[in-house]
Structure 1
Amino acid sequence: MPDAKHAWTEQGAYEVAPGVHRIPLPLPMDGLRAVNVYAVEDGDGLVLIDSGWALDEARERLESSLDSIGFGLEQVHRFLVTHLHRDHYTMAITLRKLFGAKVALGIGEQPSLEKILSGRADGQLAELARWGAGSVADELREAYKNFDRSEATRGYEEPDEWLDGTTDIALRSRVLRAVPTPGHTNGHVVYVDAESSLLFAGDHVLPHITPSIGFEPARSELPLGDYLDSLRLMRSYPDMRLLPAHGPVAPSVHARVDELVAHHEDRLGATLDAVLSGAVTTHEAARKLGWTSRQRRFEDLGLFDRILATGETGAHLDVLVVRGELESSVVDGVVEYAPVRRAAAER
C-alpha cells in the first residue's frame, strides 16, 4: 500500500465528479510513480482524457479499473490527450489499434511527433552542446549505445484529429473546451469543463511538483515564456478544481497557478545570481543551482535529471535575456550569458 504522500497512486477508479472517474495507472521505474487517466462517461461509452503508457501492467490496471465502474476497454470511443509524452499518449494508440477509438492531440505537438516517427528524436545532444554541457552529452551518447532506437518510436503514430486553437468538444452530457497551454511541451492542451468547474490539467498545473519545461524533440524558442503565459491564461479563467495528471485532485487551480508563477520568479532570480557570480554557460549556471525540493547538487542527479536540469536552466536564462537582465552570444557553438552592460548614465 502506498504511503500517505503517494496514496493517490493506489489502484482504483475514483469518482471525482458526477460521471468523471480518476484512474491512476502505473509508471514503473519512474519517479512520478503513476499517471492519472480521467474516464468521462459519454452515453453508453467513455471518453478518456490521457491514456497512460502502453505497458501490459498499465493496460491490465486500466481494464480492471474500468470494469469496476461497469465499462470495458471496447467502450472507450475517444481519447483526448493533453500532450505527446509517452505516459499520456501511447496507450491511446495501442487501444485504437484494438478497438478503433479516435485520438485527438494538440497541433503544436506535430513537429515533435514528426521527429519521433522519423527517428530524429535525439535533439538533446545538439541542445546539450549549445548549453556547454559536453560531458553530459558524452554520457548520453554512451547510454544510446545500449539503447534500442526502435524503442523511441514504439507506441507512436499520428492522431486521428489535430486540435488547432481553442476548440469546443461536445459530448453527450458536457462540453469540454480544449485550450492550448504551451510550455511543458509546444502542443500541450488542457480541457476545461466550465459547467462542472473542472480543469483536466495534464502536466500543465501539477499540485505538488513543477513540470519540466520544453523537454521534447522540437523545443520552442522560449518554452518558459510560453509556460508563464499559459499559467496566466489559466488564471484568467474562473477558478476550478484541479484534475492533474500526476498527484491528487486539488480544490483550486488559481492557488496552484500563483504558487507556480512565484516559484519560477524565484528561480529566475537564482539563475540571474548564478550568472552574476561567474557562470557563463547554461551548464555552469545549472551546476550552481540546487535541484528538487531538497536542493540537491547538480552532480548528484541521475543522467536524465541532469539533462532536464540543464534544459530548465537554459529556459530561465533565455527569459532573463528577453527581460533585459542578461545578454547572450554564441562562441564556438556554445551560448554564453553575461549581465547586460548598462550605459554609465543609466547606473
Structure 2
Amino acid sequence: MIPDDDPAADWTAGGPYLCAPGVYRIPLPLPQDGLRAVNVYAVPDGDGWTLIDSGWALAESRDLLAAALDRLGAGLGDVRRFLVTHIHRDHYTQAVALRREFGAHVALGRGEEVGLAEIHTSGRDPFAVHRTRLLRAGAGALAARIEQGRTADQGDMSLYEKPDEWIEDGAEIAVGDRHVLTAVETPGHTRGHLVFADDAAGLLFAGDHVLPRITPSIGFEPKPPQSPLADFLTSLQLVRSRKDALLLPAHGPVGMRVHERVDALLEHHGDRLDDTLAAVREGRSTAHAVAEALPWTRHRRRLAEMDTFNAMLAVLETQAHLDVLAERGAVTITLQSGVAHYTS
C-alpha cells in the first residue's frame, strides 16, 4: 500500500507517496547539496508513466527512483515521458540519462534553449559569467575563490543534451485520462522555468519557482537575463493571478496552498528590497558590501559564515535586488573600474 503524503513528516525520506489522486511524489537524494532532495512527481499515463522532473543523474538517485516505481508496479522502462521544469542538474540530467537507456521522451520549456546553447559553447567555463557578475558586485576576493575552485566536479556535462520537445508557454499537455497540464512560463530562477498547472484537479507542479520553506536562487544559470529578480517577481504575480491550487514543489513538503506561499514570497522580497535600500542609505555602495550587512537563510547567518558557493549566490541575489531598486528609481548606478556603485 502506498502511504498518503504527510506534510509533517521528513519530506526527504524515500517514497513514493500519494500526494493527490493519481499523483505520486518520489523524493530523490541530492548529495552535498543543502536542499537534500528533489521531488519527482509520477503520474500514470496510459500503459506507462509521465514524470514531472527527473532528479540528478547519480547511481543512488537512479536506484531509488527504480525502487519507488517498483512499488507502483512499474519500472524505469515504463517512464514514457519527462516534463522538466528547468535545466538545473537535479531536474534535467537523469531524464537524459534514462532517455539514453530506455528511450523516454524528454520535454523542456522553450525558454531554456538559450541556456542549453550556452552550455555547449566550445571551451566554456561554467562559472565565468558568475565571476564576471561578482567583479561587478565588488566581490573580487570571492570571485578569486570561485576561480580557484572551478575544477570542482560539475557532473557529466554531456547530459545537457537537447530535449525531444520544446514546450511552449500555454501548451496543454494531457497526462492519462484524468490530468491536463497547462505549461506556464515563470522566468526568474531560470529564464525558461515552467510550472505545470492542473486547474481541474487544483494542483500546481511548481518546480523551483514556488518553494514552501525557502526562496529560490535568482538567475543562477548559464546565461542570465538582464534583470532576473524583476522577471521572478512578475512570474510570482502571474501565478498569484491564476486559480489557487495545492502546491507541489520540487523541494520541501506538500500541503501548502499556492496563493498563501506566493504572498509570503512577495512580502519577503518586498522586505528584502527595503533592507537593501536601507543599507545603501547607510553608505554601503556595492552589492558585496550590502550583502555583508544582511542576514542570510532562516538561521540569519552573516555572509562571512557562508561557504563559497552560497556566498556567491547571496552576493548575486543582493545585486539583483539592487538592480530592481535602480529600475524603480530608488537608487542610481555608477560604474567605477567595472564595479557597480549604488547611491540613493
- The TM-score range, normalised by the shorter chain, is over 0.9
Q: Which runs of 4+ in 1 moved over 3 A?
A: none
Q: 2:146 aligns with which of 140, 146, 163?
A: 140
The yes-or-no answer on 1:202 pairing with 2:204 is no
Partners of 1:286 and 1:134 in 2: CA distance = 14
Q: 2:259 aligns with which of 254, 257, 282?
A: 254
Equivalence for 1:129: 135
Query: Which amino acid is the alignment partner of residue 167 of structure 1?
Result: A
Equivalence for 2:240: 235
Query: Which amino acid is the alignment partner of residue 184 of structure 2?
Result: V
Query: Which amino acid is the alignment partner of residue 84 of structure 2?
Result: V
Q: 2:297 aligns with which of 292, 300, 308?
A: 292
Equivalence for 1:101: 104
* Equivalent runs, 1:292-311 vs 2, <5 Å: 292-311=297-316
The yes-or-no answer on 1:272 pairing with 2:283 is no
Equivalence for 1:342: none
The yes-or-no answer on 1:283 pairing with 2:291 is no
Partners of 1:152 and 1:328 in 2: CA distance = 39
The yes-or-no answer on 1:321 pairing with 2:344 is no
Equivalence for 1:19: 22
Whether the aligned pair in 1 keeps the contact of 2:86 and 2:193 (CA below 8 Å) is yes
Query: Which amino acid is the alignment partner of residue 306 of structure 1?
Result: A
The secondary structure found in structure 1 opposite 2:33 is coil
Equivalence for 2:35: 32
Whether the aligned pair in 2 keeps the contact of 1:52 and 1:90 (CA below 8 Å) is yes
* 1:136/1:58 CA distance change after superposition, 3 Å: same
Cα shift at 1:71:
0.8
The secondary structure found in structure 1 opposite 2:159 is coil
Query: Which amino acid is the alignment partner of residue 44 of structure 2?
Result: E
Cα shift at 1:218:
0.7
Cα shift at 1:258:
0.3
Whether the aligned pair in 2 keeps the contact of 1:116 and 1:152 (CA below 8 Å) is no
* 1:139/1:251 CA distance change after superposition, 3 Å: closer
Aligned residues: 334
Equivalence for 1:160: 164
Whether the aligned pair in 2 keeps the contact of 1:83 and 1:189 (CA below 8 Å) is yes
Q: Alignment identity in percent?
A: 54
Cα shift at 1:117:
2.0
* 1:335/1:169 CA distance change after superposition, 3 Å: same
The secondary structure found in structure 2 opposite 1:213 is coil
Q: 1:45 aligns with which of 38, 45, 48?
A: 48
Give the root-mean-square deviation of aligned CA atoms: 1.4
Q: 2:87 aligns with which of 80, 84, 87?
A: 84
* 1:221/1:287 CA distance change after superposition, 3 Å: same
Cα shift at 1:250:
2.1
Query: Could you list the runs of 5+ residues in structure 1 that have no partner in the other structure?
Result: 340-347
Equivalence for 1:62: 65
Partners of 2:8 and 2:340 in 1: CA distance = 40
Cα shift at 1:14:
0.6
Cα shift readout 1:104-132 (whole Å, capped 9, x = no counterpart):
11121122211222242221111111111
Partners of 1:58 and 1:188 in 2: CA distance = 22
Partners of 1:188 and 1:152 in 2: CA distance = 22
Equivalence for 2:173: 169
The yes-or-no answer on 1:215 pairing with 2:194 is no
Partners of 1:152 and 1:307 in 2: CA distance = 23
Query: Which amino acid is the alignment partner of residue 162 of structure 2?
Result: E
Query: Could you list the runs of 5+ residues in structure 2 that have no partner in the other structure?
Result: 1-6
The secondary structure found in structure 2 opposite 1:28 is coil
Query: Which amino acid is the alignment partner of residue 319 of structure 2?
Result: G
Whether the aligned pair in 2 keeps the contact of 1:45 and 1:76 (CA below 8 Å) is yes
Partners of 1:327 and 1:54 in 2: CA distance = 44
Partners of 2:8 and 2:65 in 1: CA distance = 22
Cα shift at 1:296:
0.7
Cα shift at 1:171:
2.5
Equivalence for 1:336: 341
Cα shift at 1:320:
0.4
Partners of 2:32 and 2:305 in 1: CA distance = 18
